[in-house]
A and B are shown apart, each in its own frame.
Chain A
């Protein structure tokens, strides 16, 4: 315990590193003769220490050991003080010694300091007793006791020292040791109660601050590979802080109480951690509380802290023993965090008290009546409803959707409900769709973290049990495997508002990434193999995926994507570290592995998160930049090489086989004709099932030359149109969508060798026309095909929309940037446009291109918030665009887009 500096340090506070031997001489100018009668004290104390240690090594419990150390210290202190007073002929009146902090609580660890307060009746007593105290400290020091002391007069104790909260907190554990008992009684019953009551808000606030700083220093997690059993979250300091909070609050309400079962768990945890701390002190022969790998193995070998009959074989491995450690640490940390959530008692005026009594706590309705947001935390309204797992998972989904965490009291309630014999779980199996909702949210970690703490994550993903609290010795990782895993997800969700510049570039990737659910599932499983008896953990993780995918009923495509991300989760990191990322060959080789930009985005985020979660310093700005450079180069490689890499159906036997299986009686030749000449990206962004459905449309082209398919997804629609290529087709479709008030968020246009064009548009229904009027769906399709066939006028449609729509001012201004690239493609000129997105934009661009006779070979259209990013592969008369045409087009587009 460090009591901090005080202004009058030279008068009554003694250094931690032993007594000031020159103290007496320098202040008084006289030298006190050596105190010989106690020369035997040191050897006696040492022998007793040795005996206590042997008893501990022989199996005596930590509680008894600490008690014995404490009693030994008490006896010696009392003896030394008594002998000194006797030798000097002084009376004990006016001076008393108090034990503080852990020593005050009779929890004295082998190499801990003795926290002692010298209490003086007044300033004169302080002056008079100074020589005695100097001698007292020296004698104890020589006897092997480490004294950390402070001195105060009774009057000084009335003042709360705002810069020394630690002292006042330690004083809460005061215990009379020796000297003037009447002085102690005055302090304890008359002097301190008033100021301590008054200082409650200050002490609570300071305790929260100090505790918060300590927890942050250790990354707010108990799951350190080499934890400090005193200071880390879950360490003994957590228990001490929780006890102080309860003591200072002075409140009896339920929030500050614990059930008998909880008290028992806490008691067991304190005993367990105390045993470890004793063991560490003895092993290190100093006050070092770090549970290193070596000492974990030694502690496991002697089944430290476990009952005699605890199935020792099961815990003899360090990893298993550490799991017991983390369980106990979690108990202490959970209690502390629950108390930390309690509102600090604030001093209130009468008026404030009356006002607050009438005030209802701020409650925002949740999606379900069983829970609501109260003071920024999700709280339970209806405990019994939680027995229905559908309701329970809705609570986690709400947390994941909004980023509002569950309160610790809510988690406690859930534990109670889950363990209650009269509240059996209903609807226990969680369907993939419901789990997907949590994984795909903006804040998946906010939902998953409490699920893991409550054991519900392993209900859904039993594979995760393999890495539960698992310590894997590693020079770089700082946390257990499960903690590392959850941190990866939390590092992604914090990209919504990146806490430091390392995340800035990646924020937009997290915002726009597709199939976030699969990315997060991959992260949950990527290191599961580390807990399996396999040589390469990736192999184990892929085995775990097999069982998880079967249970969750993932589709073949979903499983394949997760498989890729797990199997290749080190690929991007390895490329960054071992290859020259500025070499185009490296980029194209890496792109060949990844295959599609959507997947690149997922792999990049996974890599970013995986490195970041190794330890707080692992993702250096240097690495973050290297990773980003590889992402940008590969992404650009994808968009600039689309027409270079065309499909040759004969080389795609596995795909052909898959499509043939899905389409039944289709002939191989017909499938080959359909696929031949599409950019390879076509297969990368469409699943086999989608390709089969496109092929089915293709086969109907003879009967109807314009084939469409409209699919409603959760927040958008997806339109696919197949027809023979013709001038201004892309612009026409975009125009129809604009005419119907649809906002295109993504689109691509591919053509095959036979001149069949497959355009896909993902759009949102700004006015909910199709969503609210199902009958309009058919009218929309008819309108589209009529315009494409030339049976209806696009201008009329657009005019009617112009009359009803009004342009809104953009929230974010995006400057237009138009660039041409003649080098990336052999056959086409690439046009990249970045501009302010607005309804009808694509129609405007497409019309401009058509007006100048530009043919769109391939198009990739994307949006990022209010920014539209469009890439077109253009030809004019089957050639690249001339420089003059490029200039004319630039002027035209600049005029249109501003």
Chain B
């Protein structure tokens, strides 16, 4: 059942990705001023959305783990942190490639860029912690605490960095009510790309989550076997 959903998601991802690539490279007209570089936008925005969604899941899973103590939540948080890190890195790289021709620089300390980079560092730290420690309930709690603390920090990071500086283009809806995507084909392409990346993300997240679940169950099983062995040798 579970694996059927997983495989199904994989095929849907493949199909949507092909459609998305076709739309980006063949169907949608490039934006007049930025030319071909603007096409990166159709990857950058979905990547950003799934990256932030992952980090949201890390925080929520952290809260549930601390509250309920079920290993399931920790596995979910860990899987989300890993997938989020991958997509966040890709988002930064894609944005950087776009920024070079448009802003004339690979990187700038704009507020959104800085915020994203700080997030990237935080979850990098989270993953380094997980990598440097064994998979014990204690480390799971550590991960949960860091996930929660990092999420708490996000609003303050945004506030402070925004006060610091900003030049990033407005996200989708500006105050004037326009969203900068004049052509309906642009909107359609963006929506398809969003769907494609969301499914890809869900698929990867699920794969990793299942893998971690299996690992948790196996280690729980190993503990039970060890206990059973000890009981047997005691009774002899």
**Do the two chains bind?**
no
Binding site for A on B (CB under 8 A): none
List residues of chain A with CB under 8 Å of any chain B CB: none
